[in-house]
Each structure stands twice: as C-alpha cells, then as structure tokens.
Structure 1
Amino acid sequence: MLYDYCVIGGGIVGLATAMRLIERRPGCSLVLIEKESALGLHQTGHNSGVIHAGIYYPPGSLKAELCRKGAQATKDFCTANSIPFEICGKLLVATNPREMTRMHALFERSVANNIEVERLSADELAEREPNVAGLGALLVPSTGIVDYRKVCQAMGGTIERLGGAIVLGTKVTGIAEAGAAVTVSSAGQSWRAQKLIVCGGLQSDRLATLAGLSIKHRIVPFRGEYYRLPAAKNDIVRHLIYPIPDPELPFLGIHLTRMIDGSVTVGPNAVIGLGRETYSKLKVNLADLLDYLAFPGFWKTVLQNRGSAVSELRNSLWKPGYLAQCRKYCPSLEIGDLLPYEAGIRAQAVNRDGTMVHDFLFEQTERMLHVCNAPSPAATSAIPIADQILDRMAIV
C-alpha cells in the first residue's frame, strides 16, 4: 500500500502533526509509527505538565507567537476532549537586586508580547504566597497545568477516529527516499508513503542520518532531576513558582511546580544524561555515551558552560546543595521533604562549534521533513508547531 503520509514519532509534536494533517486532508491515508508500546512516553511524558504563556521569548519571535497560540490551542483541545486542566498562574520570583532588575525587563517583554502580567511587591508576594520568599515577583495568571500524556492519548484517538493508523512498538531501521515515495522499514515490515514527517525527539539526529541527510548537529541528552514534596505539603504553594531567568545560563533553573494530580514537584536541575532514554541515575547506555563523547561540539559546550555544569553536577550528587536552590524561594523546605520522583531527559541539539540550538531546526527534502529540534515549550506549542510543519510541506 502507498500511504499519502507517514509520521514517525508518537510524542506530542508527532501526534499533533498527524492530527492536524488528517484534519486538513480528510480522507487521506496516514500511518504514524512509534517505537514504544504507548504514546508520549519520553520528553512529553516526563515534563512538568505546564501550559506556558510565553513570557520569556523575544517579542515578535516565532517561539513567542507559537507559545501564545499553543497555550490557547491546548486549553481548547483539553476542553473539547474533557481533559482536566487548571489555570493556576505562575509567579516569577526575584530573590536579589540583580534579579529585580531582570524582572523589570521581563515585565516590559511580557507587555510587548501581549501577555497579561502583574508586578507584585514583596508584601504582595507574601500575601499571595506566605511560604515563598522574594523581593518581588511577576504574576502570569494565564499559565496552567495538565497531564500531557492524556493529551497525547486524546490526539491518538482523534487520529484513529479520522481514519489514520497508529503502529506502536515498532522501531524504524531504514528510511529511503526514491522516486515518488519514501520507504520506511522496520524489522520484518515496511511502509511506503508519498510524504514523510519525522518528529523523532531524542532520536531525531539518528533518524535524519538514517535517511541519508548530512547534519551538523548532535542530540545531547540533558537529564533533569526532580523531587516530589510530601503529600502533607501539597498546599505549600498556590501558584507555580519560577525563578527570574539568568541570560548567562543555558537552562531555566529549579522551580516549584503544582501538578494536575495535586502533588508538588521541585526541579529540574540539568546534568548530562548517561543515555538518551535512561531515567535511572545509575543506568548507563554505553552506545549513547560514546556517541556524544566522540562529538567535538559536546566538549566545546561543556567548556563554554563549565561553571553551571560543575554547579549542576554538584547539586545532583549532593542533596543539600539541591535543597539550597529550592530554599531560595521556599525557605521552610527540609532535606526530608525531597522525595524520589522520576527524572526527565531533554533532547538538546548541539552544533559542532558547541553552541546549543535554542530555535527550531528542520531538515527538508522533496518528500521528507525532519524536525531536528523543537525547543521548549514544545508541548504547549505542539498544535501551532504542527501547522508550521504542514505549511513548510505545502500541505493545505
């Protein structure tokens, strides 16, 4: 059979792409292939579950636009599919004078991005969040929380209801573009399609190489370690509590996140992962490890960010150091409050010169489009990202 379209990847970006495609082209034949036994198991299923408002991104940028559109699209999708979500709001807390200066600049950026935001004094912050310490804060009331795995399940259901096929537990071992079709192979099975879209996440560079594309980047896995607070402290905060971002650091930093199930997590830090899909701290994937150790860009990015790398590793290995980061905002936390919680792994594209790719990265041929980097907040922005992908492939 020759399918009209094939999508590789059952994370939220791949699912949103397949869903929007079959909505744009009713009656088309479509197959989505996922190597795991369920949808949304990796980056999508291990993130903090936040529906972001887009406060961090430069005004007029694609990331700002996609996040703003995506937040509303996600809420609309959840409402239409009876998926529980909550608009709890986010507080970005400044804990020193330097962060207060950055906070004021971030307020101006938010206004330019047409995002509703309110400045709070220290007293106003204490009134809203008695357990949070800070010199001031920005309140972003539109930020929400959701279980993105449930979003993925609903997207999968929509795809199948509209006539698409989803194939689980199938690892792609070959991609060949020739003539009027692309052939996708796995052990003992293959599919032919007129157009292929690859949303491979943590495996995106390998799938691009498998398809014969010459890429200059590599995916380096960054492990984000979280802790969960005891159930007795589920009411310790009413909002999401985030830091004021430091532009000199590659990642955002530790924050307190209310989850849709009522629990509260703290994290994540950001350390080099010992495998692309190894969530246990003690587990090592030797092939993954050797892959990025042999990539010159890895060593350059470590050198360029050596200060934060040492700090993050120290806090990973030394729990009191991790606690100190949490207590910047929530001083009542104790070491016993940091209970085990599953880590997440971020697929960070790194160039050969060591620069981290913080924007979208696509590789495209006549019949294929590979999403090589879909930066945070890709889960929030998944539906408009899907529309961007389809526009690039002239699928209207």
Structure 2
Amino acid sequence: MLPSRSDFPAGFTFGAATSAYQIEGTAVAGLSHWDSFAATPGNIADDSDGSRACDHLNLWPQDLDLVRDAGFDAYRFSTSWARVMPDGLTVNPDGLDFYDRLVDGMVERGLKPFLTFYHWELPAALAANGGWQNRDIAARFADFCTAVHARIGDRIASAATLNEPWCIAWLSHFLGHHAPGLRDIHAASRAMHHVLLAHGTAIRALRAEGATSLGIVLNFETCHPADDSPAAARAAETQDAIYNQWFIRALMGQGYPDAALEGIGPHLPDRWQADMELIAQPLDWLGVNYYTRKLHAPDPGLWPHAAELSGPLPKTQMDWEIRPEGLTEFLTRLARDHTGNLPLYVTENGMALGAGPDVTQDDRRVEFIADHLRATRAAMDQGVDVRGFFYWSLLDNYEWGWGYGPRFGLVHVDYDTMARTPKASWHAFHRMLRG
C-alpha cells in the first residue's frame, strides 16, 4: 500500500507526468530531430517512432479523465516546439490551438497545469543549423517559450523551461543515445553550455512578459564507485560532476565543477564565462527527476576515464537499480549544497515494468512508488521544502531509444487499439488520494 495522503502536508501536490512526443503522435506537427533520428536504422530498439505514440492528440479528454479520476491534483505535460513552430521560427496557430484546448481541459477537471516548455523535441530545421551546438538557439528558444506563454500562460500553475538538460546535451551529443545521436566531445560541450544559456535567456524573456512560478527540471543519478580503489572513486567523482553538478551549480551561480571542466572546458564556446550571470537567473522552484544509481569503474581510455558496471540491487525493466534512499540523499544534498530554501518538486520518479498476462497487475510498481514516497517524506522530515511528487508516467508510451518496449505507465496502453486500462498502481493512487 502507498502511504496515506495525510502523511504529507496540506497543499502538497500529487501529479502524473507525460511528454508530448512520447504520447501525442506527430499529426499536424513539423518534423523534429526525433523523427529524423528514429528514421535512421539502428537508432531505436524496435525501429519504431512517435508518429502515432498513444494518439493523445485525439484521446486527450479520456487521458485527462484518468488523471482526475485517480485523484491527482496536477498534470505535468510538455509542448512540442515542432508542433508550435514547425520551422523553429514561425508560429503555427493550429499547434497552439491544441495546447489551448488541452489546458482548458485540465482547468475544467480541476487539475493544475504544470507546463514543461521543452521535452527534447527540437524542430529539424533548427537541428540542421546546429541545434544546441549553435549559440543562436538561446534566442530561438526564448521566442518559442514566450509564444506558448502568450497563449496559455494565463492558466498555467507552473512552468519549467527544460526537462533534463543532461539528456538534451550529454546523452544526445556525447553518448549518442538520443537525437541527434552524436558522439562528439566538442558538440557535447557546446550543447552543455548553450542549453543553460537558452534557459537563462528564456527565463529573462518570460519574466519580462509577467510570467511567475518558473523553474527547470534536472535529473539526478547516484554515482557510486564500483570498488574501494582510488581510481574508481575518481571515476565516480567525474561522472557525478558531469551528471549531478554541472547544471545545478551553474543555475545557482556556483560555476561549473572542476572535475567536469577538465574534459569539457577546452571545448566550451569562447567567452563562455560572460554568460554565467544570465544563466543564474532567479528561480521560483526546482524540479528533481530521480530513478536509479550507477556504479562506475576506471577506464584507461579517453576522458572521462569511467565505465558503468551492473550493480547487485533489484532492477527495473530498464535494468536500472532500485535504490529509493537515493531520492532522500539528493533532496537533502540539493538543499544543503545548492538550493537552500528554494522549493523542490519531485517532477519524475517511476518504474518500467513489463506487462504480464494480466496487464493490470504491477504490484512491484506499487511497492516502488511507496518506497519513493517514503523517501520523499524522509527528506521533508529533515527540513527540505518539497512541494509535490509527480509519477512518471501516466501512460505506457514511446520510450525514446527503447521504443515501445518499456512500460512506465500507471495505465496500460494497447498500441494496436489504443485502449487504456488502469493498472493496480493507478488504483493504489486512487485509494491514497481519494480514500
């Protein structure tokens, strides 16, 4: 069973999260770099794409009903840049019309709309001009955010500029697992900086338009050494600097970490230091995404001289170790070392679990959620100002490079018929939030 709602303070926000490309389908949208990436053989595990996804573009009313009926307070969603601006520059009124209807649907159901402007859908036209490697992306991104805000900002409870900039920049430009699929330290380093510059530029532009309750969503992942050797400790330290410190330190005006600058610094744009004040715009809140931990061993090859090893803990369908106490550790670490009294939200936490003969049975997911809710409460008991918890994801969906195999949803989706079937985990939230 999940904890009781009364275990959390009055006003604590419970929600479910999704992202545009993973559920909407790409009808009446421009081409994004994910469409290009998915069309390239070998990039997606099952050779699929997001062209239909969960058909949320048409089925959104029943999906919002599922959010409401479970008892959630809020729905975290994202806007597709390629739908709103197919060429990355020019507003498509039909694209904004869809999000206008969607937000109205949330308000009508008593749900607080939590907007993420960008969840990895870069218009292909901008990608062709260098995308996140190109400094001009900052101004283009600000234009996109202000266009969206001008249409739906009056009904938005809260808005984040970006979801998981580590994935936008490093996973996509250095490790090559996400669009645009590069493995290039120069490209990755420029993206690591420009994604933050885009955030700061957009925050400044949104503030000028009167926007409030603005934040950003970062992902954090426990980095442990694989053994007791100094070399393993150094590997874990370097990965922690890249993954967990690069973005939060810059956002809080603390500069980039030295352990990451060792490899990234030589490839940063000229005069990058002059951008750091703009990057560190004041925030109203920070979103924290947490899923797993990784073990790191030394690697004699090129920087960052680290290799991931499989750990001994129980694992999800994604082969990610399950370690709930890591969520407590990150929430307390953020408050202690970086954010102080800045309100925090757990904006993503969830478990991929394959469907069995009875698609509604996901008792392991219920246990996973319960443990991470208790981990959130433990951080609050230590004085951390956590304001809400969003489960990832409402629906089984298109899981990027893994295609349609992994299932994170509280609701099962039959990808042939698009039928939605609430799982035991959905019902567990219903009992917790409605009971």
In the superposition, the TM-score normalised over structure 2's length comes to 0.27
The structure with more strand, counted as a fraction of residues: 1
The structure with more helix, counted as a fraction of residues: 2
Q: Which has the larger radius of gyration?
A: 1
